[in-house]
Structure 1
Amino acid sequence: MITIQNNKLKANFNELGAELISLINLETEKEIIWNGNPDFWGGQSPVLFPIVGALKNEQYIFEGQTYELPRHGFARRRTFNVKNSSDNEVNFELKSDEESLKIYPFEFSLEIKYTLVEKKLTVSYQVKNLSEKEMYFSLGAHPGFAIDTENGLNYNDYEISFSDDEKLEIHPLVDNLISNETQTIELDNKTLLLSYELFSKDALVMTTMKSRELILRNNKNNHKVIFTFSNFPYFGIWAAKNADFVCLEPWQGIADLENHNQELTEKFGILKLEKHQDWKADWAVEIE
């Protein structure tokens, strides 16, 4: 386990997947991240790479060859190297190797840097195309935030406010693929009330959400988490059935559409990176 800390926050990470597994507010000793109870969901904050969501039949086609990739890709199951670290910052790196090239035919470097400043944790991603050809990929974040249901509180006491949206256009998931239909959720003063029923049909997937700042708030004690992100055009909100957490997920890419032809280069939301070029994105969480 890798730890970084300042006088406000303490964060722990697993080298497997370079995953954030704990973020503690040192002033209140309150844990911000979901505990990873496998009875509900064993993840905590996995990185989704080189795809987000599921592929049709867990397969894609590139240059006439068929490859298989599991849902959300393979990076979350690989051990990252610690490239460098200090008291309040750590930088992880994953590079392509012989095993990855069998299922994803691109040479790459993926770096994830975590930085603490005051009461904010910033997570920065850099993907480098080390191939001599164009590289196609998606990347997504999947942090799960703990919902406090003790001391008279319950899940319905929490809400998410959106900086720039009056309503949300949702793409329902059908067998883990994106439906051709859409549904609309009307927000109350740009606010979504949380409930276990909200995720009864899986994640809320959005490709047109305008907000780049969300606030997860307890409306009884005003405990809140301010979540911001950049260079991620899509977004998902999800929780497992009856579990006391909610995931706020900025994405570059989504699951396959129901009618997708499985060609990687034609996948909705896929990003094309020219040889020897890089791509960057980030998200941050600030505790109040």
Structure 2
Amino acid sequence: MTDLITIANDHLTAQINPLGAELTSLKDAEGRELMTNADPAYWTGHAPILFPVVGRPYRDTIRVDGTQYPMKQHGFARRQGFDVVDRHANRVAFVLDDNDDTRAHYPFAFSLTLVFGIIDSSLLVGVEIANTGDVPLPASFGFHPAFAWPLPYGQDRADHRIVFAADEPDTLRMIADDGTIAEGERPSPLEGRTLHLRDDLFAKDALVWDSVRSQSVTYGAEHGPQLRIDFPDTPKLGLWTKPGAAYVCVEPWHGIADPEGYTGEFRDKPGVFEVAPGDVKRIALRVTLVPPAR
């Protein structure tokens, strides 16, 4: 088992697994856990990093210059060991470089860096996707943190909600049985800017905003401490749980699953960005514990 790395200050303590550079725990100053209990009856993940794909490729395959490569849902980064390259009491950095295993699935040179830092009551995650090769690097990236539902502050599970920072008038995408994006649209379940969390919302998998206007959401019960999740660099958002589970995932994405039946080139797929040779793509996430309003 890989040893977890702990960073902390007087407000928060985080633990990160070098396997996948995955945040596995986030606790408040009193030691109360703000993330999933990882009950194996539902899902054992905590906060996997989604790279170089978000969601499921059609038939678990991508195509690069006409050649097919096997690619599982959400990519391979979450199953790769990252190197620790910088470590302090409240900050740690991880790096994954391309290797023989990654090139069997994704024939590109890259360096993926994640920096976790705690400042005051915020956990910051900074991502750098560097193209270390000599051809454009097509990629997607996503965050997948699973927060405790309910949060550990005594409010009922049914009182928890997610409030968007901006109006979100658009419909949502549909998910096909194979996990790809289906034709058609799903009505928005928002009431104003508020999503009142209920298990039945997730009976047909995740809620997917293909184009989210908000750059942050606030999660929790109205009269308790809440989490504000800021995602200034990711234009899509997924929310997901399994009905009955003790978590809800807030997933800012720069990418999306394949359209149902997609057999085109990976670099032409909706949601894929390109990084020029020698360039770097930067993406950030901030999770802040907000005290209850007085």
Q: Under TM normalisation by the shorter chain, which class is it?
A: over 0.9
Rounded Cα–Cα distance in structure 2 between residues aligned with 1:151 and 1:117: 22
Residue 172 (structure 1) aligns with: 174
Q: Give how far 1:184 is off.
A: 2.1
Provide the C-alpha distance between the structure 1 equivalents of 2:256 and 2:53, rounded to a whole number of angstroms: 8
Partner of 1:226: 228
Bigger drift between 185-194 and 195-204 goes to: 185-194
What is the aligned partner in structure 2 of residue 49 from structure 1? 51
Q: Give the distance between the partners of 1:138 and 1:83, measured in 2 at CA.
A: 24
Indicate how the Cα distance of structure 1 residues 266 and 197 shifts in structure 2: closer, same or farther if over 3 A, else same. same
SS in 1 for 2:54: coil
Partner-residue secondary structure (3-state), 2:163: strand
Tell me, yes or no, if the aligned pair for 1:165 and 1:209 is still in contact at 8 Å: no
Moved more, 254-263 or 38-47: 254-263
The aligned residue for residue 11 of structure 1 is 14
Which residue identity lines up with residue 62 of structure 1 in the other structure?
Answer: V
Superposed counterparts of 1:177-216, under 5 Å: 177-216=180-219
Structure 2: which amino acid aligns with 1:245? Y
Cα distance in 2 for residues equivalent to 1:237 and 1:178:
15
SS at match of 1:24: strand
Comparing 159-168 and 72-81, the one that deviates more:
159-168
Which residue number in structure 1 is paired with residue 103 of structure 2? 101
CA distance in 2, matches of 1:284, 1:37: 25
**Secondary structure class of the residue paired with 1:235:** strand
1:150 CA drift (Å):
7.7
Aligned partner of 1:131 in structure 2 is 133
CA distance in 2, matches of 1:148, 1:159: 10
Q: Please state how far the C-alpha of 1:262 moved relative to its aligned partner.
A: 3.4
Q: Distance in 1 between matches of 2:54 and 2:168?
A: 26
Which SS does the other structure have where 1:172 is aligned? strand
- Structure 1 distance, partners of 2:168, 2:174, is 19
> Alpha-carbon deviation of 1:169?
1.9
- Pick one of 120, 123, 127 that aligns with 1:121: 123
Contact kept? 1:167, 1:184, Cα under 8 Å:
no
Aligned residues: 286
CA contact (8 A) 1:149 1:244 kept: no
TM-score by length of 2: 0.94
Residue 73 (str. 1) matches residue 79 (str. 2): no
Aligned partners of 2:162 and 2:194 also within 8 Å: yes
Shift of 1:29: 2.5
Matched position secondary structure for 2:188:
strand
Q: CA deviation at 1:188?
A: 2.2
Separation of aligned partners in 2, 1:186 and 1:254: 20
Aligned twin of 1:25: 28
| 1:224-266 deviation digits (Å, cap 9, x = unpaired) | 1111012111110001221011100011110000142231121
Could you tell me the percent identity over the aligned residues?
Answer: 33
1:185 aligned counterpart, secondary structure: coil
Return the alpha-carbon distance in structure 2 between the equivalents of residues 198 and 132 of structure 1: 45
1:84 is paired with a residue whose SS is strand
Please list the CA deviations of residues 195-224 of structure 1 after superposition, one character each: whole Å capped at 9, or x if unmatched.
Answer: 1111010001111210111000213x4221
Amino acid at match of 1:63: D
Specify whether residues 261 and 14 from structure 1 end up closer, same or farther in structure 2 by C-alpha distance, changes over 3 A only.
Answer: same
Point out where structure 2 has 5 or more consecutive residues left out of the alignment. none
1: CA distance, partners of 2:151 / 2:255: 33
| Runs of 4+ residues deviating >6 angstroms | 149-152
Q: Which amino acid aligns with 2:20?
A: G
What secondary structure is seen at the aligned counterpart in 1 of 2:208? strand
- Spell out, residue by residue over 1:96-131, the C-alpha distance to the aligned partner (whole angstroms, 9 max, x if none): 011211111001000000110010001110000111
Aligned-partner residue type, residue 130 of structure 1? T
User: CA contact under 8 A between 2:151 and 2:220: conserved in structure 1?
Assistant: no
CA contact (8 A) 1:166 1:188 kept: no
